[in-house]
Structure 1
Amino acid sequence: MQEERKGTTIPRAMGRRTFVRLSAGALATLTAACGDDANPTGGGTDTGTGGSGGASGTASTGVGSTTGMGSGTGTSGTTGGTTGSGDGGSGTTTGGTTGGASCEPDAVEVTFDPDAVPEDETVYPLAVMAGEMKPTSVMLTTIIDEPGTKRLKIWRPSETAGNVVMVVDADVEPDADGYVKVTVDGLCPGTWYRYGFFSGDPDAPTARSTLGEFRTALDDEDLEPLTVALSACTFTGGPWPALQVMSDEYYDMVLQLGDQIYNDDVFDGPATLQDFRNNWRLQLSHPDYKKFYSRAGLYATWDDHEVTDNGKFNRETTDPVDIQKRDNALDAFFEIMPIDSGRPNVRLWRSFRWGKTAEIIVLDCRYERKPSQGIYISPEQMAFLKDRLLNSPCHFKVVMNSVPITNMPLLWDVAEGDRWEGYPAQRDELRDFINQNDIRNVWWVSGDFHVCFVAKLEPDGNDRWSNQYEIACTAGNENPAGWTLFGSQFDYGVGTYRGCIVTFDPLSDAVHVRFIDPDGGGDDYNKALTQL
């Protein structure tokens, strides 16, 4: 079977990792030690705290390397029992051994055609999502609108036609509201997997969800190009042509930069938990999101509209009604998103290392703000950010920054208080830290403004900070003020939605940025950038 993507034909038997290395001319780095990346100061970390699903009641289960699954809570997802294991049929064991350690110890080659199983959108109405990708683990989420045990299957291609290498084949049990959040361990680094949820006989399923794909993070020693798709500002209900055009491209992951949904109207009403859940169901049942998220795993931050517009909600409010509405919105976010955090111990900021290529640093630029004290991000988050920028061993430091940090043109200063520029002490602190420590190859990616641009952080200056680039995107909403994004500071700027594909290539010390016009499918901007 082959998968068609724009500009490529990727043979399944080859595998995407191999394909990308060959097509990019990258060094075939095949070392893949299987230790989980769990050191908060050594890269590859998920420093989020709080149990998966938090207070919202999401079913959190774990799949260990034995493919056993059982109910459990907490962040590790490895406390499941050994019930419900199965191999989907008899076959040849194919667990990998690399770098002196084994991964996929229970993998087995079986005859199985997942695409031949009918998709049932009544039972499985929403997108399937993968997140928290680490070298040997992933988190998977969806909603199942039918009580009872279902089957999670994870596999990769086989060289034998009609066969797959089944890596996980285990029971999952949705919670009372249909939510499933599963952490899977025992995977191999830098590897593409397919997955789905199935109904019926485990060996002969009769229905399935949308089939998804994800790639595990690279091993710590790997160095190869990494391609990401950027998304932000998708108004509720769709369609989103930018998501459509990106879904036909190759990307290793999605970086979801906030305003993934617009809950403003929900917040204006009773704003119960169920009200927010219903809006998420509308958003994630749309074919554009189902396809976009099925193509790769994602890392996500939020902006304001996951709760409501920033002008409608005081971050420092003591109003119990508004606080309850906010908490309902946050619970609805964490129970559906593949993020290992939740109330009451919300900590969205964390980082993920992909080999020596890039560290993806996820910030929370909304819900730690204290405007009365001039605090944009908490002191703890600032210390974390400085640590990762200074001590990351990766070539690129990619900062997921939901609201732009760029020194914007004068017209934009009417809303200066809603971004980094409105908190000058912390912005200057970060600028001075980067300059004093001569930190190179920090790349900022952002959303919020309903524009797409490529800009240097300052209109002039020859220091490290001023010559860093920010790449901003919108995949949905538009802004007529996009016409102001011109001049030497802005290499590109439009006020309309675009697909955005970015490749971080450490081998050429360059970042290749493409903005794709969904109307014609051609590139509106296509350029390789380097920092001074």
Structure 2
Amino acid sequence: MKNFLLLIVLSLYLHSSFAQNLLQPELEAFYNPALRPFYFGVASGDPQPHSVVIWTKIVPENLGLQQIHWEVATDTLLQNVVQSGTGEADSSSAFTLKLVVENLEAGTHYFYRFQHEGRYSPIGRTKTAPEGEVPLLRFAVVSCANFPSGYFNAFGDLARRNDIDAVLHLGDYIYEYGSGGPRKKKKNFSRPHIPNHEILTLQDYRTRYGQYRLDPQLMEAHRLLPFIVIWDDHELANNSNVSGAQNHDPNSEGSWEQRKAIARQVYFEWLPVHDNPQRSIIRSFRYGGLAELWMLDGRLEGRSPQAKGTGDPALPSASRHMLGEKQTEWLLDGMKNSTARWKIMGNQVIFSPLNDSKVFSRDPSIRMDRWDGYPAERSEIFDFFYKNNLRNIIVVTGDVHTSWAFELTGDPLNPSKYNRKTGMGVTGAEFVTPSVSSFNFDEVVPKFVTWEAKRRFCKKKNNPHLRFLDLNHHGYMTLTLTPERAQADWFFVKTLYEVDYRFKQKGGRYIEYDGNQVKKNKKR
């Protein structure tokens, strides 16, 4: 009996130690018992015409290899099951099951769930990409969701919509900081990070993703909508590049290569992105004849270290890259050979030239993380567009926490290359989504400063190609595509400090097919 009790105690101890090695125990207080063992819900992503990725993660009661059954159906009650099977999950992925469901019909809603030891997950909904002639597509575009900054009301609102084909998440899915970052603190509001220090280890990164995925609004958005995701910098560390980051000190935080490897591994554990040996996020999606989408990696694939400022002699060098030669060639060849009406670049940081000298004149290094910090590679891309007469290009962007619309042109301050009135030199449009919750202008400076910043940004002599700007609101953007036009609309939350579904729609900027001007949508 003594040995038997000792074995039980030892087993419980090992289970506890093992669980703590995967995720920090502070998360357990936020588990919903009704979801056991699927506390983190379900998700889908990377929709193709005949396949989609489905995802779940369990917290098992024992430490061995786990069998998880899955099924996909065409109806909400899962009576008409069209695909099913059993997958395995183990500790190497923190008990993640992610698989590609194939042989599906194009442009079709499907419903799916998982089962483990007699317990069922919530039922998820997803949608495959369409084929052939497509009359309308609508993507939601999001980025920059910082947990301590406020509730994820943008995700909550998206989960309530039935008109979204897919969510394009352009990065900063999590933040690596221990605190919430540089913003004004709201009295009596607290949503601290777990763990409460900057994340560095495998357990740290897994726990941080776990905290975000326990958020009910984000969980529901993942349950009901397929996501197409890329990382930006905060999935690793602020202002990342191939060889380092502004927020990584190798002397006190260890190897950058090890941190990158951990961040990549955990990203692929938690996100419904197609697995590949390289753990690369570079991929493309075709939505019939209407659109083709290229999702880019502007961080870890080829990015050179950021220049030190506008006076850095290395700034204009052709040897400095944002994407790298291989990725740039893949993108440009794909765009040149595409027969889709709209060609969409899913991109992390502002692509368009932006004259911010009248706003950030004291800190010119602030623009070095944007494409303005890599002018030679951007010029190469624009030159390719012009040489090959590529039009109808839409760039969607995150990172900057604010909302913008630009006419896509390579040299907006050169009157021989761009004309605001006639649209000469315009190849498409760039639309920038606001942050879900991360700080924006009026949360770090007084409102009158943001008003003045907006006035200076919008002066035609500074940025003649800028057609819409909002510096103060959080939310998300939609990109609606028809054969005739591409339109961006911005949806701004009323508050971040309580769960709230009051939104206001702003913006409404569009460009017509083969058009060369971004116009304001007239209210009907």
Q: TM-score of the superposition, structure 2-length normalised? A: 0.71
Residue 321 (structure 2) pairs with residue 375 (structure 1): yes
Contact 1:246–1:501 under 8 Å retained in 2? no
2:266 aligns with 332
1:351 aligns with 284
Distance in 2 separating the partners of 1:361 and 1:312: 20
Q: How does 1:452-467 map to 2 (within 5 A)?
A: 452-458=403-409, 459=412, 461-462=418-419, 466-467=426-427
Residue 165 (structure 2) pairs with residue 252 (structure 1): yes
Residue 182 of structure 1, aligned match among 99, 107, 119: 99
Deviations 1:298-324 (A, max 9, x none): 111111000011179953899562221
**Closer, same or farther: CA 390–168 of 1 in aligned 2, 3 Å:** same
Q: CA deviation at 1:335?
A: 1.6
2:346 aligns with 400
Distance in 2 separating the partners of 1:489 and 1:235: 30
1:416 aligns with 367
Distance in 1 separating the partners of 2:117 and 2:52: 25
Contact 2:489–2:506 under 8 Å retained in 1? yes
Residue 405 (structure 2) pairs with residue 491 (structure 1): no
Letter in structure 2 aligned against 1:171: T
Letter in structure 1 aligned against 2:176: N
Letter in structure 2 aligned against 1:168: Q
Residue 210 of structure 1, aligned match among 116, 122, 127: 122
Secondary structure of 1:124's counterpart equals coil
Contact 2:241–2:299 under 8 Å retained in 1? no
2:382 aligns with 431
Distance in 1 separating the partners of 2:241 and 2:37: 36
**Closer, same or farther: CA 290–436 of 1 in aligned 2, 3 Å:** same
2:436 aligns with 475
Contact 2:100–2:274 under 8 Å retained in 1? no
1:157 aligns with 75
1:285 aligns with 214
Letter in structure 1 aligned against 2:493: P
2:191 aligns with none
Residue 192 of structure 1, aligned match among 109, 125, 129: 109
Distance in 2 separating the partners of 1:236 and 1:321: 26
Q: CA deviation at 1:248?
A: 2.2
Contact 2:147–2:437 under 8 Å retained in 1? no
Q: CA deviation at 1:489?
A: 2.8
Distance in 2 separating the partners of 1:278 and 1:318: 22
1:93 aligns with none
**Closer, same or farther: CA 163–338 of 1 in aligned 2, 3 Å:** closer
Letter in structure 1 aligned against 2:458: F
Letter in structure 1 aligned against 2:80: V
2:294 aligns with 361
Q: CA deviation at 1:408?
A: 1.5
Q: How does 1:9-48 map to 2 (within 5 A)?
A: none
2:256 aligns with 322
1:521 aligns with 503
Q: How does 1:288-299 map to 2 (within 5 A)?
A: 288-299=217-228
Distance in 2 separating the partners of 1:388 and 1:215: 24
Secondary structure of 2:232's counterpart equals coil
Residue 263 of structure 1, aligned match among 156, 176, 189: 176
Deviations 1:392-451 (A, max 9, x none): 111111100111101113235542211211111101001111011111111000111111
**Closer, same or farther: CA 346–163 of 1 in aligned 2, 3 Å:** closer
**Closer, same or farther: CA 150–366 of 1 in aligned 2, 3 Å:** same
1:168 aligns with 83
Q: Which moved more, 1:148-157 or 1:417-426?
A: 148-157
Q: CA deviation at 1:386?
A: 0.5
Residue 44 (structure 2) pairs with residue 133 (structure 1): no
Q: Which moved more, 1:515-524 or 1:448-457?
A: 515-524
Letter in structure 1 aligned against 2:225: A
Letter in structure 1 aligned against 2:436: A
Letter in structure 2 aligned against 1:468: G
Distance in 1 separating the partners of 2:265 and 2:321: 24
Contact 2:177–2:198 under 8 Å retained in 1? no
Distance in 2 separating the partners of 1:318 and 1:432: 38
**Closer, same or farther: CA 313–218 of 1 in aligned 2, 3 Å:** closer
Distance in 2 separating the partners of 1:486 and 1:478: 21
1:53 aligns with none
**Closer, same or farther: CA 336–465 of 1 in aligned 2, 3 Å:** farther
Deviations 1:315-352 (A, max 9, x none): 38995622212211111111221222456x24321111
Q: CA deviation at 1:516?
A: 1.5
Q: CA deviation at 1:224?
A: 2.3
Q: CA deviation at 1:472?
A: 0.8
Q: Which stretches in structure 2 are left out of the alignment for 5+ residues?
A: 1-21, 23-31, 179-194, 306-313, 442-449, 495-501, 517-524
Distance in 1 separating the partners of 2:134 and 2:303: 36
Q: CA deviation at 1:527?
A: 4.2
Deviations 1:213-251 (A, max 9, x none): 1111112x2322111011100003551122222222220
Q: Which stretches in structure 1 are left out of the alignment for 5+ residues?
A: 1-56, 58-117, 202-206
Distance in 1 separating the partners of 2:136 and 2:124: 22
Runs of 4+ in 1 over 4 A off after TM superposition: 266-270, 311-314, 316-320, 462-465
**Closer, same or farther: CA 274–494 of 1 in aligned 2, 3 Å:** same
Deviations 1:136-193 (A, max 9, x none): 11111221112542321211138xxx77321123223222221111111111111110
Letter in structure 2 aligned against 1:172: G
Identity rate, percent:
24
What's the C-alpha RMSD, in Å, of the aligned pairs?
A: 2.8
Residue 214 (structure 2) pairs with residue 301 (structure 1): no
Letter in structure 1 aligned against 2:506: D
Q: CA deviation at 1:457?
A: 3.3
Deviations 1:45-101 (A, max 9, x none): xxxxxxxxxxxx9xxxxxxxxxxxxxxxxxxxxxxxxxxxxxxxxxxxxxxxxxxxx
Contact 2:468–2:509 under 8 Å retained in 1? no
Contact 2:385–2:427 under 8 Å retained in 1? no
Distance in 2 separating the partners of 1:389 and 1:312: 25
Deviations 1:440-475 (A, max 9, x none): 111000111111111223545147754521111122
